[in-house]
Amino acid sequence: MYQLSLTHPQKRAFITGAASGLGRAFCLELAKDGWTIGMADNNVKELEATALEIEKAGAKTLLFPLDVSDKDQYKQVAADFLAQAGGIDLLFNNAGVGDGGGFEEYALENYEWMVGINQMGVVYGCYYFIPAMKKQGSGHILNTASAAAIGCAPTMGAYNMTKAAVVAISETLYGELMDHHIDVSVIQPTYFRTNVIQHARGGEIVKKATRMFIEKSGLEADTVAQEILTRAGKKELYIILPKDARKMWQLKRLAPTWFRKKVKEQFMAAMNKAMRRSS
């Protein structure tokens, strides 16, 4: 049993992006401990199919079709979940999209789209659920950022800035909420097997390069979810994984200018390889 399940015996979780990838993996892990899980996703068909699997694994599910970038819809969904579950113990702001493109080549509409989902989706989740956690005097917030917030590779400006914002939001809340006995963790993984680029707008080269990184990682979503839940149970603020990501974080702090150059070299080499594959 996870420590989170012992710390929060009522076991009420709300998870965005729950129909697939890391969100689905989280649901499956929490189901083993018998959590009540509010599963939110904008893909209703996939959400319903995944919920059946989660229920078989031992969870009670509450389903919520949700576009996390829609603040009015999110407000209603949060109210509905709290009414049905009677409170919230774990908020997992996980929904997100991945994409890339040259800074001035990536359409402004795409920046707005990315910010709406990756950044404001986290803001809305925290904004609407923190009052309930404060009233309870307990809770844990898990925000999905990315190692991209550390690496800030070229051609990934929109994604990098939204994930860096999630880190900043989480650090801010960590300080604000500790006196209310509410824990905060920010997740910063490197690539692992997920469908984060399924809605990418930056072109085929970006998709091919991302797939190369994913394939090279060898990491599965369930392995990532297990480590995150274990470390969240220890109340870690920064959940950076795997080991290579933690090394990257340390190198950036020790030699930031050298690190910037190495990131560019490695990322551009991968992009060139992807371009050769596509030709």
* 182-189/238-241 β-pairing: parallel
Over residues 230-267, the pLDDT tens digits come to 999 999 999 999 888 899 999 999 999 999 999 888 88
CATH superfamily of 3-278: NAD(P)-binding Rossmann-like Domain (3.40.50.720)
* Residues 146/192, Cβ–Cβ less than 8 Å: no
Split at pLDDT 50, 70, 90, the class of 99 is: confident
Q: Token pair of 84, please? A: 């049905």
- pLDDT, residue 54, reads 97
* Residues 28/57, Cβ–Cβ less than 8 Å: yes
Over residues 45-81, the pLDDT tens digits come to 999 999 999 999 999 999 999 999 999 999 999 999 9
What percent of the chain shows pLDDT beyond 70?
A: 88
Dihedral sign, Cα of residue 11, residue 17, residue 23, residue 28: positive
Over residues 114-158, the pLDDT tens digits come to 999 999 999 999 999 999 999 999 999 999 999 999 999 888 899
- Could you tell me which residue, 98 or 207, shows the higher pLDDT? 98
**Catalytic one of 74, 106, 159, 174:** 159
- Could you tell me which residue, 97 or 196, shows the higher pLDDT? 97
- pLDDT, residue 244, reads 86
- pLDDT, residue 220, reads 81
Is 159 one of the annotated active-site residues of the chain? yes
Cα dihedral 25, 32, 188, 216, rounded to 10, equals -50
- pLDDT, residue 109, reads 96
